[in-house]
Amino acid sequence: MQLPSAAGWNHKNEGKNMHKHIVRLLTLIAVIAVVALSAKTFFRADTFYQYGHYRGASVAQIAAKTPQHQGSASCQSCHKEVYAEWSSGMHQKAHKDGAVVGTVIKSGVNCEVCHNGPAGNHPSKEPMPLSIEDQVTTITHTRKEIHPANVTDRNLMRDPEDMRILCTTCHEKMAGRPLRGKVEGANVPVQAVTDVVGVAGVPQVVIEGHGGSELCTACHNPHSPRINFAAVPRPPVDPNTGKAIPASAEPAGDVAAGKATAVMCAACHVIGGPNPDPSWPSLGGQNAGYLVASLKAFKAGDRKSELMSPMAQTLSDTDVLNVAAYFSQASCNTSGGDKAKAELGKAKAAESGCAACHSSGGLRSPGKDGVSAARAWPNLAGQNAVYLTASLKFFKDGSRNHAVMSSVAKTLGDSDIDNLAAYYASASCK
Amino acid sequence: MTTQDTQVEKEAGDLSRRDFLGMLGKGAACAGALVGTGSALASAGAGGAHPLGGVGPTFQQDEAQYAEAVKNPPKIPNYNWTQHKWAFGVDADRCIGCLRCVEACKMENSVQMDRNHTRTWVERYAYLEGSNHALVDSIHDIKNVLPGSKETRFKFDNRYKDNQYNGQKVEKAFFVAKLCNQCEKPSCVQVCPTGATYKAVDGPVLIDTKYCIGCQYCVQACPYGARSLNHDRGTAEKCNWCYHRITKGLQPACVEVCPTGTRIFGDRMDPESPVSQFIRNNKVNVLQPAMGNYPNVFYKGIDKEVF
């Protein structure tokens, strides 16, 4: 059997030319190898392979970057007042110190949780030093919120909308958030864990039913968020210094001028005695802040009354302050109410948590019931029962609106309202 | 032509071809060895890697290189990397999904501010009644970005109001914080062609941005999705447990700002460090143990669907 001769001829030819081919190829490989070897020698970093297949010097370079978050302690040296406020409040109480309580690590809300961006090299006005990584490509953060001295308009989150978003970031009730005092999987009684700092969960609120259109800061001080009723509403903050403006700096009404203006009020709102119509509130000794807010609401139409709205229209802003100052220092009058109903009303008031706002001590340490500690909220003690009943019903049916009162009134039945009105009407206003 | 001739010729031809291929192979091997990609050789001799951590050579480090690491550690002031073995704990029972960690990380490390570039992120798992599959969402979802904020500020959307979703009850829901696991056997290090990423002796997997060419092999290699490309720098981006902070005695930025104590960090070599206590006092596990990467982030309170 013969194979095709063409195949044999090809093999012969290949064999003859092969050596030249190999020599050429080997030369090429040798040249590539030499070039590669020299390239490796010349271009490889000195510390490559020092610790492994990487540049050993890069470890120290990465570690040399400047930290941006400085911790709460760095704020203390300058912001002493705010730091003191914070360090005595709930946000610090669970302050992180790395300690372990039971099976959990202590936690806390320190300055940079809310005041982000990080402190960086604040308070220096110089731009932040660039990190090693940043030297590759300079990155410019355009965030207006960056804290604080590196930007000209020191925006310390005083934008009200910003503040509500900030608080609800942690405190909005949301599926998946552990409830306070409840540690999943941990066999700790709820009563015990609420006293231990740093247990799982944070207080959570359903935004729609909590505070309504009010800002969180109207009642809560973000540095120490448990409500201090004596300080509600929180005093306004000076945008330049960041410090609270003392109450004495707020415009106060002139009592004498108020008395002159109040002549036209006195026909209905009698000082030291009952009003001609018990459905009209007695104003003697009422909180000035509440009176100002009410008159302004009548004037602006936020609160409607056939009698009061036209009266309020005639008052200037100064008149409002003066009249409020006059009535707030006038003596009060206890109108009195049905004793049997008042007993029932007392129990209902305790159940509904009225004392949280309408008591001089707040919910945890009740003081004089019916006397509101906050200047913005009305005193109820001694007020006309008919007026109180009507007000609660207005809140309930929506003809008068208030963030907190509207939602509270919806939980009350007609008899509850009667009883509560009797209770507060018979409470001593002195 | 005879059969014999043909056979001889055929043998000669076969021999030549074998020689040729053999020489080609040897030549290539020589060139390869000279050029020295190194990683292939190093991984062959990676028997020294301690899969469960501890003192000794790390991933792809031979005994001589480890001896050098002990003898001449990197020049970091007041810090010796052979005296630490860092670890991270995540207590998912405590996470409230406030995303302060995400924003803090971005600013501490100059990560791109938009939702698609993160070193650390938080996921929400929700199980509807009667379902075995979790609904998962993260800050990559535009709904979890604050409106009008140019994707720089994050807040979980309250989509399960009153524990309801499309008329169905949410049976179980929880948040899980995610970050780089700083694995003992990191896939990303294995595939890096330039030696730009490596396992440091004290634990973290670091990136040398000077040597990173942005090829993104590591991004694909990571089974946890912990890596991304920083489109500003053109280099790989990943969590390094704030190596510039922990080497100065500080905590990582995300741990520093976590208001609930969900994130726990410390030194495994110190039995009283927070993370040592966390691991000792709790029943913890790691993500995807079957991948064989031996992660160093320990989770408490996560469900089977978290990976």
The confidence score (pLDDT) of residue B31 equals 53
Q: How confident is the model at residue A242 (pLDDT cuts 50, 70, 90)?
A: low
Tens digit of each residue's pLDDT (9 = 90 or more) over A282-328: 898 888 888 988 898 898 888 888 889 888 889 988 899 899 989 98
CB contact under 8 A, A50 and B259: no
Task: Name the strands in the sheet holding B164-165, side by side, starting at the edge strand that comes first in the sequence.
Answer: B135-138, B121-128, B168-178, B164-165
Q: Does residue A266 carry a pLDDT above 90?
A: no
Question: Is there a domain that residue A319 lies in?
Answer: yes
Within a domain: A303: yes
Residues of chain B contacting A172 with CB distance shorter than 8 Å = 158
Other beta carbons within 10 Å of A135: 12
Residue numbers in A near B158 (CB within 8 A): 172, 174
Total domains, chain A: 2
A67-76 burial: b if 16+ Cβ within 10 Å, else e: bbbbbbeebe
pLDDT(A107) > 70? no
Select the more confidently predicted residue: A5 or A350. Answer: A350
At residue B173, what are phi and psi to the nearest 5 degrees?
A: -150, 145
Task: From chain A, pick out residues whose CB is under 8 angstroms from the CB of B274.
Answer: 98, 100, 105
By mean pLDDT, which of A196-205, A415-424, B272-281 is the weakest? A196-205
Domain containing A272 — which CATH number? 1.10.760.10
User: Which comes out higher in pLDDT, residue A121 or A170?
Assistant: A170
CB pairs under 8 A between A and B: 268
SS3 content of chain B, % helix, strand, coil (to 5): 30, 20, 50
The burial of B57, by beta-carbon neighbours within 10 Å (0-12 exposed, 13-18 middle, 19 or more buried), is given as buried
Q: Does B27 touch chain A (CB under 8 A)?
A: yes
Question: What's the gap in Å between the CA of B95 and the closest CA on chain A?
Answer: 7
For residue A411, the distance in angstroms to the closest alpha carbon of chain B comes to 19
The beta strand positions in B92-196, using DSSP E, are 121-128, 135-138, 164-165, 168-178
What 8-state DSSP symbol labels residue B145? B
Residue B50 CA, chain-centre distance (Å), reads 17
Instruction: Give the pLDDT confidence score for residue A356 in this predicted structure.
Output: 73
Residues A323-341 have pLDDT tens digits of: 998 998 888 878 888 888 8
Asked whether residue A15 is domain-assigned, the answer is: no
Residue A37, pLDDT score: 94
Per-residue pLDDT reduced to its tens digit, A125-166: 433 333 322 222 222 333 333 333 333 333 444 455 667 778
Contact B23 A26 (CB under 8 A): yes
Count of alpha carbons within 13 angstroms of residue B143, beta-carbon side: 9
What does the pLDDT read at residue A244?
Answer: 60
Domain's final residue, options A293, A308, A329: A329
pLDDT of residue A134: 29
Q: Which of A66, A177, A223 should one mutate to test binding to chain B, selecting the residue with the greatest count of B CBs within 10 A?
A: A177
CA A215 to chain B, closest CA, distance in angstroms equals 18
Interface test with A, best of B209, B218, B284 (most A CBs within 10 A): B209
Given an 8 Å threshold on Cβ–Cβ distance, is A58 in contact with B125? Answer: no
Query: In the block, which residue shows the tokens 């720089």?
Result: B152
- Predicted confidence pLDDT, tens digits, chain B (307 residues): 444 444 444 444 455 666 666 666 665 555 544 444 444 444 433 444 444 556 789 999 999 999 999 999 999 999 999 999 999 999 998 899 999 899 889 888 989 888 889 999 999 999 999 888 999 999 888 888 877 666 777 889 989 988 889 889 999 999 999 999 999 999 999 999 999 999 999 999 999 999 999 999 999 999 999 999 999 899 999 999 999 999 999 999 999 888 888 999 999 998 888 899 889 988 999 999 999 999 999 999 898 889 8
pLDDT of residue B16: 61
Which pairing describes strands A104-105 and B235-237: parallel, antiparallel, or unpaired?
Answer: unpaired
Contacts of B76 (CB under 8 A, 6+ apart): A59, A60, A63, A64, B247
User: What's the confidence (pLDDT) of residue B182?
Assistant: 96
Q: How far is A407 from chain B (nearest CA, A)?
A: 18
Residue B258 is classified by DSSP as -
Least confident range from A246-260, A262-276, B32-46, B158-172: namely: B32-46
Helix, strand, or coil (residue A48): strand
Burial A219-235 (b: 16+ CB within 10 A, else e): bbbbbbbebbbebbbee
Q: What is the pLDDT of residue B161?
A: 86
Q: What was the pLDDT predicted at B193?
A: 95
Average pLDDT of every residue of chain A: 73
In a domain, A375, yes or no: yes
Question: How many helices, marked H, and strands, marked E, lie in chain B?
Answer: 9, 11
Is A344's pLDDT higher than 80? yes
- Give residue B24's pLDDT: 63
CA distances from A347 to A354, A417, A424, B120 (A): 11, 12, 12, 52
Q: How far apart are CA A229 and CA A377, in angstroms?
A: 10
Supply the pLDDT for residue A128: 36
pLDDT band of residue A357 (cuts 50, 70, 90) is confident
Domain termination residue (choose one: A329, A351, A371): A329
Assigned CATH topology for domain B43-90+181-217+237-300:
Alpha-Beta Plaits (3.30.70)
Domain termination site, one of A292, A308, A329 = A329
Which of B155, B257, B298, B299 is the best mutation test for A, with the most CBs of A within 10 A?
Answer: B257
Confidence check: pLDDT of A77 > 80? no
> Domain for residue A238, yes or no?
no
- Residue A101 pLDDT more than 50? no
Q: Which residue of chain B is at minimal alpha-carbon distance from A39?
A: B35
Q: What is the mean pLDDT of residues A182-196?
A: 37
Nearest-Cα distance to chain A for B145, in Å, is: 12
Residue with the larger pLDDT of the pair A6 and B79: B79
- Listed by start position, the domains of chain B span 3-36, 43-90+181-217+237-300, 100-178
What is the pTM assigned to this prediction? 0.70
| Angstrom distance (rounded) from CA B6 to CA B1 | 7
Whole-number Å distance between alpha carbons of A174 and A161 = 20
A161 phi and psi angles, rounded to 5 deg:
-60, -40
Residue A134 falls inside a structural domain: no
Domain of A322?
255-329
